[in-house]
Amino acid sequence: MHKRFQSGRQTRREFLKKTAVTAVLAASPFGAVSAQVRRVDKIGLQLYSLRREMAEDFEGTLAQLAEIGFTEMEFAGYHGKTPGEVRSILDSFGLTTPASHVPLQAIRPWLPENERSLDSYHRVAELLNRAGEKTREAGITMGYHNHDFEFDIHEGGRIGYDILTSETEPDLVMFEMDLFWAEEAGYDATFFFLKYPGRYPMIHVKDRAGSGEMADVGRGYIDFQELFSYGSKGGFKHYFIEHDNPTDGINSMAYSYNTVRNLRFNSTYELPY
């Protein structure tokens, strides 16, 4: 059972001990290897977190983020800048942008409430595959970012998220796990990292307060040290901090950055590639 109910929360280690996932790992030829202490060397930011600041001072905001130590930017709009202008500004601060959120109407990554049936998820999976074929021609990988509704339980105990991951082609569609929204839905994200290894090159590092609200990373209760230890299994390459409504803009991002920068974790599970 991969849903974690709000009452009686269990640790991820306890969760794995109580599920068949442990048996699967034991039978795997790769299994668990000796732990290696690691840290996140390249820390990114989803710029939706600072959408107001970016609209007011695009270049100045990026300069402040580079000074904090951020190296990767995930855009959510370009505020009237051309691709060439964006590239030039990023280059001037030593920043890169390995990912971007696109307008929702482009490929329908957001499903309105009346289109969240299991049949709808089958159609969206096929849509993502076809879009992935097109983007691959341009050297871009299609991705899907979750919220909480994809984890709603439907008839037969199925969830939409499983359909999206199982029915999309790994070489065409990757997934960006939002750790806050998985937690909000009551699910342990590590279950999916183990079930769909290598499908998660990007994650949104977003914390959750006990009240249920989003929090600066390190001010909530989500155990990022434990989650990051599954990075090799999930395929993590890009760690994007995000907070939809930070109370203190740049300072909030700096706090979250320092939390992630100072985090040390064991990499327990390794991929064979």
pLDDT over 80 (residue 213): yes
The amino acid that residue 156 corresponds to is G
| pLDDT given at position 119 | 82
pTM of the model: 0.84
Instruction: Please give the pLDDT value at position 116.
Output: 66
The H or E element containing residue 55 is: helix 51-56
Mean pLDDT of 142-171: 95
Q: Which residue(s) pair with 37 in the sheet? A: 266
Q: In this predicted structure, what is the pLDDT of residue 23?
A: 33
Selection from 33-37, 103-107, 129-133 with the highest mean pLDDT: 129-133
| Residue 245 predicted with pLDDT over 90 | yes
Residue position matching structure tokens 């009237």: 80
Give the per-residue pLDDT at 269.
Answer: 57
Check residues 240 and 17 and name the one with the higher pLDDT. Answer: 240
Where does 101-220 show beta strands of DSSP type E?
Answer: 142-145, 173-178, 202-205, 207-208, 214-215
Least confident among 110-124, 149-163, 168-182, 235-249: 110-124
Find the length of the chain. 273
Instruction: Provide the 10 A C-beta neighbour count for residue 242.
Output: 25
Class of CATH domain 30-269? alpha beta
- What is the Cα–Cα distance from 234 to 126, expressed in whole angstroms? 23
Amino acid symbol at 270: E
Whole-number Å distance between alpha carbons of 171 and 164: 14
What are the boundaries of each domain within the chain? 30-269
Strand partners of residue 44: 72, 240
Q: What is the pLDDT of residues 13-36, one digit of tens each?
A: 443 333 333 333 333 333 344 457
